[in-house]
């Protein structure tokens, strides 16, 4: 099990980079050798969206997106999740013996408050309020995940109890991840895939709420933190891929139905645009982005892992690079149509589904501040801003766009004028 190197600063540099709670911080609990969660863990689980299957993704006028899904191997798509789990603590910290009373308080808060904040549709709220707790009664790791989520929500509501709830969230998330990691070391099977899916959905919410878990107002490194989130989204989706088509025949179906919209409904009309939370000129802007990608002079880019190696490797050609970006833009376009049709009832899954199309090359480009990647990410901030009122997302779009403005080549800042108008209001 890999352990992050610590430079013994306070907090240490690696903990700051990965948005994790430093073990040097006195949390009132015994500290494991590793930190309780990685940046990707903290960025992820607060949203209701269920993981979606690329093969089931609706078609667009340009053709079926199933044929456009990222062709990268499943082992690569799962790597972000495996990294996230390997960075989670091996040992579970302990709490005081009388903390059972706090757990009851967390359970009550979850069932009366938190469950209603994770989605808009009442049928989906029923799943979070009733079905998930029932699954958690017989799956201890899922109960830990549920209590961790409740504690995070309470951090955002009760500032005077922040320290107590952050400790409780760290404990329960660490305990849940420990058992979850052991569980998925073997293939997921018909006997356990539904609680695994439920916990995976909670992980996504937990990662999205990174600043709350750390007791901070901002992400440490918004672009890098978002790239980690994208990797975890893909890893969890890959883990659950064999079972996703079965979801609609289970009690968990509303979690999928609240995000998926059938392909025949994905049409643009004046009525849907008028009701949408998106800018009225979003489709015009998408057309401009298509031209931008068509004309962009993609270079030969050597991945960092290959730069560090003396071996000779074949590098991606500009045509392949452009195709990669066009695929991502088509998924972006599809997400906008889902959001348009939702009117004021946008689910976070409609926004986060863009992550399924992003290749490792695209994510590497984001980390390297490649202008074309940052331009697309800046426009995605507009989609993300439609769910800015949610407690686990609030402020993310603004912080991400601010980071993009700092990192992007000055020659491409004109492409940020439109996103700025809709995210910053200026």
d(CA 390, CA 392): 6
Q: Are residues 115 and 215 in the same domain?
A: yes
**Within-domain flag for 3:** no
Task: List, in order, residues 6 or more apart from 310 with CB less than 8 Å away.
Answer: none
Asked if the model's pLDDT at residue 61 lies above 60, the reply is no
Q: At what angle are helices 162-183 and 193-208 packed, to 10 degrees?
A: 140
Say how far residue 180 (Cα) sits from the centre of its chain. Answer: 18
Q: Are residues 246 and 386 in the same domain?
A: no
d(CA 100, CA 108): 12
Domain boundary among 255, 285, 309: 255
d(CA 181, CA 175): 10
Q: Are residues 403 and 278 in the same domain?
A: yes
Q: Are residues 171 and 278 in the same domain?
A: no
Q: Are residues 323 and 281 in the same domain?
A: yes
Count of the separate structural domains present in the chain:
2
Q: At what angle are helices 371-384 and 318-342 packed, to 10 degrees?
A: 10
Q: Are residues 234 and 179 in the same domain?
A: yes
pLDDT band with cut points at 50, 70 and 90 for residue 149: very high
d(CA 82, CA 88): 10
Record the tokens describing residue 387, joined without a space: 């769910």
**Within-domain flag for 410:** yes
Whether residue 396 contacts residue 208, with contact meaning beta carbons closer than 8 Å, is answered with yes
Task: List, in order, residues 6 or more apart from 190 with CB less than 8 Å away.
Answer: none
Q: Are residues 278 and 395 in the same domain?
A: yes
Whether residue 376 contacts residue 321, with contact meaning beta carbons closer than 8 Å, is answered with no
Predicted pLDDT of residue 9? 52
Sign of CA dihedral 151, 157, 161, 163: positive
**Within-domain flag for 120:** yes
Number of Cβ within 10 Å of residue 120's Cβ equals 18
pLDDT band with cut points at 50, 70 and 90 for residue 80: low
Q: Name the 3-class secondary structure at 63.
A: strand
Asked if the model's pLDDT at residue 153 lies above 80, the reply is yes
pLDDT in tens, 101-119: 889 999 999 999 999 999 9
Task: Give the length of the chain.
Answer: 426
pLDDT band with cut points at 50, 70 and 90 for residue 60: very low
Predicted pLDDT of residue 117? 97
Long-range pairs for 284-288 at CB < 8 Å and ≥24 separation? Answer: 285/379, 285/418, 286/329, 286/332, 286/333, 286/336
Predicted pLDDT of residue 233? 87
pLDDT band with cut points at 50, 70 and 90 for residue 12: low
Name the CA dihedral angle for 422, 269, 351, 318, rounded to a multiple of 10 degrees: -90
Whether residue 185 contacts residue 16, with contact meaning beta carbons closer than 8 Å, is answered with no
d(CA 16, CA 215): 13
Sign of CA dihedral 194, 200, 205, 211: positive
Mean pLDDT calculated for residue range 337-365: 91
pLDDT in tens, 205-255: 999 998 998 889 899 999 999 999 999 888 888 888 888 888 888 999 998
**Within-domain flag for 1:** no
For residue 197, the enclosing domain spans 74-255
**Within-domain flag for 10:** no
Q: Does 210 or 6 have the greater pLDDT score?
A: 210
Q: Are residues 217 and 351 in the same domain?
A: no
d(CA 377, CA 404): 8
**Within-domain flag for 203:** yes
Q: Does 420 or 28 have the greater pLDDT score?
A: 420
Say how far residue 339 (Cα) sits from the centre of its chain. Answer: 17
Whether residue 181 contacts residue 199, with contact meaning beta carbons closer than 8 Å, is answered with no
Question: Of the given ranges (51-60, 111-120, 185-194, 279-288), which has the lowest mean pLDDT?
Answer: 51-60
Q: Does 28 or 344 have the greater pLDDT score?
A: 344
**Within-domain flag for 328:** yes
pLDDT above 70 as % of the chain:
69
User: Measured at the alpha carbon of residue 318, what is the angle toward residues 314 and 324, in degrees to the nearest 5?
Assistant: 95
186 pairs with which residues across the strands? Answer: none
Record the tokens describing residue 353, joined without a space: 């589904």
Record the tokens describing residue 268, joined without a space: 């643009």
Asked if the model's pLDDT at residue 92 lies above 90, the reply is no
Q: Are residues 145 and 236 in the same domain?
A: yes
Q: Are residues 78 and 179 in the same domain?
A: yes
Q: Name the 3-class secondary structure at 48.
A: coil
Predicted pLDDT of residue 316? 60
Q: Does 419 or 30 have the greater pLDDT score?
A: 419
Strand runs (DSSP E) across 14-67, as ranges?
Answer: 44-45
**Within-domain flag for 32:** no
Q: Are residues 144 and 292 in the same domain?
A: no
Asked if the model's pLDDT at residue 328 lies above 80, the reply is yes
Q: Are residues 241 and 288 in the same domain?
A: no
d(CA 282, CA 176): 41
204 pairs with which residues across the strands? Answer: 45
d(CA 284, CA 111): 43
63 pairs with which residues across the strands? Answer: 60
Asked if the model's pLDDT at residue 37 lies above 60, the reply is no
pLDDT in tens, 272-286: 566 789 999 999 999
Output the average pLDDT for the chain.
Answer: 78
């Amino acid at each position: 099990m890999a352990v992050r190197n610590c430079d013994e600063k306070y907090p240490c540099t690696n903990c700051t980079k990965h948005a994790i709670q430093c073990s040097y911080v006195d949390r009132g609990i015994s500290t494991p050798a590793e930190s309780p969660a990685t940046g990707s863990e903290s960025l992820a689980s607060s949203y209701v969206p269920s993981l979606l299957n690329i093969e089931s993704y609706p078609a667009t006028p340009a053709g079926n997106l199933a044929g456009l899904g990222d062709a990268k191997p499943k082992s690569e798509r799962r790597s972000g999740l495996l990294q996230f789990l390997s960075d989670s603590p091996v040992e579970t910290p302990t709490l005081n013996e009388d903390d059972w009373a706090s757990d009851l308080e967390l359970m009550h808060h979850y069932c009366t408050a938190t469950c209603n904040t994770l989605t808009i549709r009442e049928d989906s709220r029923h799943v979070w309020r009733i079905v998930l707790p029932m699954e958690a009664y017989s799956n201890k790791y899922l109960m830990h995940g549920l209590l961790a989520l409740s504690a995070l929500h309470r951090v955002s509501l009760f500032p005077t109890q922040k320290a107590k709830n952050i400790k409780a969230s760290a404990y329960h998330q660490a305990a849940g991840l420990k058992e979850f990691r052991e569980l998925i070391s073997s293939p997921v099977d018909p006997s356990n895939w539904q609680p695994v899916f439920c916990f995976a959905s909670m992980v996504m919410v937990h990662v999205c709420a990174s600043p709350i878990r750390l007791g901070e107002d901002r992400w440490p490194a918004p672009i890098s933190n978002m790239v980690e989130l994208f990797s975890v989204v893909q890893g969890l989706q890959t883990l659950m891929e064999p079972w996703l088509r079965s979801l609609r025949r289970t009690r968990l179906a509303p979690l999928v139905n609240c995000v998926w919209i059938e392909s025949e409904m994905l049409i643009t009309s004046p009525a849907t645009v008028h009701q949408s939370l998106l800018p009225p000129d979003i489709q015009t802007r998408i057309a401009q982005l298509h031209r931008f990608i068509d004309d962009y002079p993609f270079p030969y880019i050597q991945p960092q892992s290959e730069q560090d190696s003396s071996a000779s490797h074949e590098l991606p050609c500009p045509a392949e690079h452009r195709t990669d970006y066009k695929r991502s833009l088509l998924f972006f376009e599809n997400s906008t149509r889902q959001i348009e049709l939702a009117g004021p009832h946008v689910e976070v899954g409609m926004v986060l589904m863009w992550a399924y199309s992003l290749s490792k090359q695209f994510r590497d480009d984001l980390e390297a501040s490649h202008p074309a990647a940052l331009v697309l990410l800046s426009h995605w901030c507009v989609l993300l801003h439609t769910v800015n009122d949610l407690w686990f997302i609030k402020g993310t779009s603004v912080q991400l766009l601010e980071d993009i403005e700092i990192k992007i080549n000055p020659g491409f800042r004109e492409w940020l004028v439109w996103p700025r108008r809709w995210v910053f209001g200026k």
